[in-house]
Amino acid sequence: MMTSRSEPLFEQASQYLVGGVNSAVRAFRAVGGTPVFMRRGEGAWIEDVDGKQYVDYVLSYGPLAMGHAHPDVVRAITDTAARGTSFGAPTELETELAMKVQAIMPGIERLRMVNSGTEACMSAVRLARGYTGRDRVLKFRGNYHGHVDALLVEAGSGVLTLGIPGSPGVPAAVTETTLTAPYNDIDAVRQLFAEYGDTIAAVLVEPVSGNMNCVPALPSFLRGLRELCDESGALLVFDEVMSGFRAALGGAQAWYGIDPDLTCLGKVIGGGLPTAALGGRADVMDWLAPTGPVYQAGTLSGNPLAMASGLATLAALSQPGVHADAVAWTARLLEGLRERAAGAGVPLFTHQAGTMFGLFFTDSDSVVGFEDVAACDGERFKRFFHGMLEAGVYLAPSAFEAGFVSTAHDETALQHTLDAAERVFADL
Ligand SMILES: *Cc1c(COP(=O)(O)O)cnc(C)c1O
């Protein structure tokens, strides 16, 4: 018996909101059943409208690096709100957050705050095109860069190495300049550069892919991209909307030791409020308006509430040992899950990138590309998902989403999760 109040609430919501949700990933289309309505969260736990508690591994799809309702973050937001929520004029908080980001990610010399990861990626493409005077962009199959027209390429649609993708609702003219290649396949990228190199403005990549479950890039793949971009004059754009402040505190760029030209940030940078950012080399960033000709603006960009929330989150997260402890916790979680899966005879492969993780129901020990993820046992994931949900563990309702850990995940949450997994694995 699943939660009861969620069902009528979802029915009602569906009459007013498309599909009953405001972001497609929240619907339970892939796993079946009714989305669970939540009413509060504290630390690692969320509570649904029936009062049932869950250990949360969704964390709003990544932003809540300090867990739900962290006291510092709540205080920063309420104190700031009491002084006014938006001015349309510069505030010190914007500079403070930019300084904090730069201290954590020294490769980012200049920043522009925006309101969503989608905006950051959209602006990255426009800036790269303006700066290089070239039109083509290259992205990878299974990577997600928000719902940007030119980047919204149907994953799993049979798009091949040299294919030119299309997407419903997007004029062909917009995607004609988008090239795609398989993730972690540097030879395919080399071929594309051989053919199109002098017309490629940017390579956009999730250095840790978190939108086809969690699949870290091979170091040689990212090094290869850096070299190809340097040779051809294309900009290397790391989409760290998800991996930023997670793969390592300094993001995937710190984890791999590779500097991109531009970085897209989102999710954790706002600590649960809507903000995101585009950052990178000053000589490139200064091509944005008002110093440069590439237009970009936003009514609520850099708004005080989101800046305060982001600052409080990053200040707490960057205290010595705080992120490292959450990474160590994540490793123990995965070790515990693998042990219990093995005990029940369920083949399980895992990936970890800092406080991001991926669970794969496969007996393969190599998951590097979209096809590897798609080949996992989807039926088994569905049963695992619903079993864990019933047992009070909240995972994303899709085998193509990463899992997230916060600094608030403690021994109690770990034990609760592993006990639940032991029972659920036994039923698979
Ligand atoms: C979530 C995400 C985006 C889009 O961010 P929104 O804030 O949802 O628009 C872009 N890129 C990556 C890698 C993401 O994970």
Closest CA to 254 of 194, 305, 347, 323: 323
Q: What tokens were used for 31? A: 């796993």
Residue 108 lies in a domain: yes
Task: Please report, as a single letter, which amino acid is at residue 65.
Answer: A
143 plus 263 within the same structural domain:
yes
Q: Can you spell out the DSSP letters for 105-158? A: -TT--EEEEESSHHHHHHHHHHHHHHHH---EEEEEET----S-GGG---TTS-
Residue 344 lies in a domain: yes
Q: Ligand 1 mean position to 273 CA, how many Å?
A: 14
**Which pLDDT value is given to residue 166?**
55
**Which pLDDT value is given to residue 2?**
54
Q: Ligand 1 mean position to 241 CA, how many Å?
A: 5
136 plus 195 within the same structural domain:
yes
Residue 407 lies in a domain: yes
Q: Which of 119, 206, 242 to mutate to test the pocket of ligand 1 (most atoms within 8 A of CB)?
A: 242
- pLDDT tens digits, the chain, 428 residues: what are they? 555 899 999 999 999 999 999 988 888 888 999 999 999 999 999 999 999 999 999 999 999 999 999 999 999 999 999 999 999 999 999 999 999 999 999 999 999 999 999 999 999 999 999 999 999 999 999 999 998 988 887 443 333 333 444 567 888 888 889 999 999 999 999 999 999 999 999 999 999 999 999 999 999 999 999 999 999 999 999 999 999 999 999 999 999 999 999 999 999 999 999 999 999 999 999 999 999 999 999 999 999 999 999 999 999 999 999 999 999 999 999 999 999 999 999 999 999 999 999 999 999 999 999 999 999 999 999 999 999 999 999 999 999 999 999 999 999 999 999 999 999 999 99
Q: Which of 211, 212, 275 to mutate to test the pocket of ligand 1 (most atoms within 8 A of CB)?
A: 211
81 plus 48 within the same structural domain:
no
**Which pLDDT value is given to residue 29?**
86
Q: Ligand 1 mean position to 117 CA, how many Å?
A: 4
Q: Ligand 1 mean position to 427 CA, how many Å?
A: 34
Which residue lies with its CA nearest to atom 5 of ligand 1?
Answer: 117
312 plus 327 within the same structural domain:
no
3-state secondary structure of 47: strand
54 forms beta bridges with 46
329 plus 293 within the same structural domain:
no
State which residues form the domain around 357: 6-57+322-427
Alpha helices in 233-273 (DSSP H): 251-256
Which of 298, 317, 336 corresponds to the end of one domain? 317
Alpha carbon distances (Å) from 315 to 60, 76, 270, 407: 20, 11, 12, 13
Alpha carbon distances (Å) from 360 to 16, 25, 42, 376, 402: 36, 19, 28, 6, 10
181 plus 166 within the same structural domain:
yes
204 forms beta bridges with 237
91 plus 229 within the same structural domain:
yes
Task: Please report, as a single letter, which amino acid is at residue 40.
Answer: R
Q: Which of 205, 267, 356 to mutate to test the pocket of ligand 1 (most atoms within 8 A of CB)?
A: 267
- Give the CATH number, domain containing residue 38: 3.90.1150.10
Is any ligand 1 atom within 6 A of the Cβ of residue 340? no
Which of 317, 348, 375 corresponds to the end of one domain? 317
Per DSSP, 258 falls in state: -
341 plus 382 within the same structural domain:
yes
Cα angle, residue 289 at apex, residues 283 and 294 outer, rounded to 5°: 80
Residue 225 lies in a domain: yes
Q: Which of 114, 119, 121, 278 to mutate to test the pocket of ligand 1 (most atoms within 8 A of CB)?
A: 121
Which residue lies with its CA nearest to atom 6 of ligand 1?
Answer: 117
Per DSSP, 294 falls in state: B
Cβ neighbours of residue 149 under 8 Å, at least 6 residues apart? 167, 170, 174, 175
Residue 402 lies in a domain: yes
- Give the CATH number, domain containing residue 256: 3.40.640.10
357 plus 275 within the same structural domain:
no
Is any ligand 1 atom within 6 A of the Cβ of residue 210? yes
Supply φ then ψ for residue 271, to 5 degrees: 55, 30
Which of 288, 317, 346 corresponds to the end of one domain? 317
**CA 191 from chain center: how many Å?**
28
| Rounded Cα gap, residues 8 and 419, in angstroms | 31
Q: Quickly tell me which residue has 């602006």 as its tokens.
A: 123
Q: Ligand 1 mean position to 153 CA, how many Å?
A: 14
Is any ligand 1 atom within 6 A of the Cβ of residue 241? yes
Is any ligand 1 atom within 6 A of the Cβ of residue 372? no
Looking at the 3D structure of the chain, how many domains does it have? 2
Closest CA to 252 of 211, 260, 186: 260
Residue 143 lies in a domain: yes
311 plus 354 within the same structural domain:
no
Is any ligand 1 atom within 6 A of the Cβ of residue 63? no
Using only C-alpha atoms, the chain has a radius of gyration, in whole angstroms, of: 21
Q: Ligand 1 mean position to 214 CA, how many Å?
A: 14
Is any ligand 1 atom within 6 A of the Cβ of residue 242? yes
Whether 279 and 237 have beta carbons less than 8 Å apart is answered as no
306 plus 345 within the same structural domain:
no
Residue 296 lies in a domain: yes
Residue 68 lies in a domain: no
Q: What tokens were used for 195? A: 């053919």
336 plus 361 within the same structural domain:
yes
Peptide bond into 168 cis (omega under 30): no
Q: Ligand 1 mean position to 369 CA, how many Å?
A: 19
Residue numbers annotated as active site:
144, 239, 267
